[in-house]
Structure 1
Amino acid sequence: MESSTSYAKPSSGRLSRRTWSVEEELILIQGLEDLVVRGWKADNGFKAGYAFILEKHIGQHFPDTDIKAEPYITSKMHVWKKSYGSLSLMQSRSGFGWNDSSNTIMVDREDIWDEHVKFDPNCKSMRYKTWPYFKDWIEIVGKDRATGENTRGYAYTTTEPCTEQPPKEGLSAPYVCLDEDIPAMEADDNSGTS
Structure 2
Amino acid sequence: MNDLVDLSRWKKDNGQLKNGAYAKIETPMKQKLPYYGKKVKPHIESRVKLLRKQYDAISEMLSPSASGFGWNDDGKFVMCPQSVWDE
Question: TM (normalized to structure 1)?
Answer: 0.39
Does the aligned pair in 2 maintain the 1:55–1:67 contact within 8 Å?
A: no
Equivalent residue runs for 1:29-108 within 5 Å: 32-39=1-8, 40-42=10-12, 43-92=14-63, 93-107=66-80
Q: Which has the higher contact order (CA 8 A, sep 6+)?
A: 1
Does the aligned pair in 2 maintain the 1:55–1:73 contact within 8 Å?
A: no
Cα 1:94–1:49 shift into 2, 3 Å = same
How far does residue 44 in structure 1 lie from its aligned partner after superposition?
Answer: 4.6
Higher helix residue share: 2
Does the aligned pair in 2 maintain the 1:91–1:98 contact within 8 Å?
A: yes
5+ residue gaps in structure 1? 1-31, 116-194
Q: Hey, what does 2:83 align to over in structure 1?
A: 111
Question: Alignment RMSD, CA only?
Answer: 1.7
How far does residue 63 in structure 1 lie from its aligned partner after superposition?
Answer: 0.3
5+ residue gaps in structure 2? none
State how far apart, in whole Å, the 1-side matches of 2:86 and 2:17 are. Answer: 34
**Residues matched between the structures, number:** 83
Cα 1:71–1:95 shift into 2, 3 Å = same
Query: After TM superposition, what 4+ stretches of structure 1 lie above 4 angstroms from structure 2?
Result: none
Equivalent residue runs for 1:5-24 within 5 Å: none
Question: TM (normalized to structure 2)?
Answer: 0.81
